[in-house]
Amino acid sequence: MEHLLNRRVQSIQMSGIRKFAMIAAQYPDAISLTLGQPDFATPEHIKQAGQTAISNDRTSYTPNAGLIELRQAACAFLSQKYGLDYRADSEVIVTNGASEALDIALRTLLEEGAEVLLPGPIYPGYEPLIRLCGAEPVYLDTTKTGFRVSGEMVRQALTDKTRCLILPTPSNPTGVVQSEQSLREIADVLEEREVFVISDEIYSELLYAGTHASIASIRSMRDRTVVINGLSKSHSMTGWRVGFTFAPAYITEQMVKVHQYNAACASSISQYAAIEALTAGIDDAEAMRAAYKQRRDYLMERLLGMGFEVIQPDGAFYIFPSIEKFGMNSFDFATRLLEEARVAVVPGVAFSPLGEGFIRISYASSMEQLRAAMDRLEAFVQTL
């Protein structure tokens, strides 16, 4: 009866990141630089808050949109950190990670036949969700613009079917950040068009210089933007599954319906831990960010020394060097690197066809592992 299964589900593929991570797992002596999993433990005070919630029997359903105390803390965090102001009672939803936040946003904003603009290369989790909505992804080629989106790039891609622009900043897989100027250029283009923006800011706390800027801070964009954020990267809470949507009330009112039937609510235990993260742990990301910057600088020095062409990441914990000079496609390069040097990276093609010719290296690993991996990579490229 396989032919009766949903054709849209059958047509989408498993993430290329996970696929290659599973291949790498077959090599126990390999150094894996594949997943976006912080190598730091969740801070102790956050773990204690979760344990206390269990001990105090705070294990029942919460309001669909999440504990009001957590929504208030999330709003205060965004206001203090980025100057974004949202109402806790009507403009915030606590979700099961940023992934569910993206899902409910897209299912609320899209209809059959709509087009969604995506800057490529890009995290592979967006396209399947778009296609499951019956909509079409339209890729913006950023490979010649330093992986940044320009207003003119958006203007040229707009059609009567364009419903939404997805804007991840800092970006996965490149670590590139959209400047305030570029955000204003994009806003100027969209101001006269009925187009929503989903601003994926999950790496907002991992910026190496300056202050994170959100397109939602621009007056004309606030009422058409859904900001996605969460605690997986900023507080090393990937398994706790705490994400957020911040959006005007008229969008949030509809998204919470989808969230209600999708998940009822996020884990109550995780929500109590998240309150601790966003209050007492408001600056927990600082030590992690400093360590990631040190690793970023080390990888830049090593990769440039090996002759790679690479754009310096401004945030997150990924670097995306070009491998075109080696005359192989990204899957073959990554496969040979794994088999011959026991280093696992993600082929660039996993991040859309525009990622071909690159590899993604995650530096959410210890300096010891990174040094060993770079030594192996250097020995490998000398054989090519």
pLDDT for 59 equals: 97
Exposure string for 29-66, b = 16+ CB within 10 A, e = fewer:
ebbbbbbbbbbeebbeebeebbeebeeeeeeeebebbb
pLDDT for 223 equals: 97
pLDDT for 329 equals: 96
The domains of the chain are located at: 2-42+284-381, 59-278
Q: Could you please state the CATH topology (level 3) that the domain comprising 59-278 is classified under.
A: Aspartate Aminotransferase; domain 2 (3.40.640)
Level-2 CATH architecture, domain 2-42+284-381: Alpha-Beta Complex (3.90)
DSSP SS3 for 8: helix
The number of helices, as runs of H, and strands, as runs of E, in the chain is 14, 12
User: What phi and psi values does residue 113 have, to the nearest 5 degrees?
Assistant: 85, -5
pTM value is 0.96
Topology agreement, domain 2-42+284-381 and domain 59-278 = no
Q: List per-block mean pLDDT (blocks of 10 residues) for the chain, which spans 384 residues.
A: 86 76 85 93 98 98 98 98 97 98 98 97 96 98 97 98 98 97 97 96 96 96 98 98 98 98 97 98 97 98 97 98 96 95 96 97 97 98 93
Strand partners, 138: 117
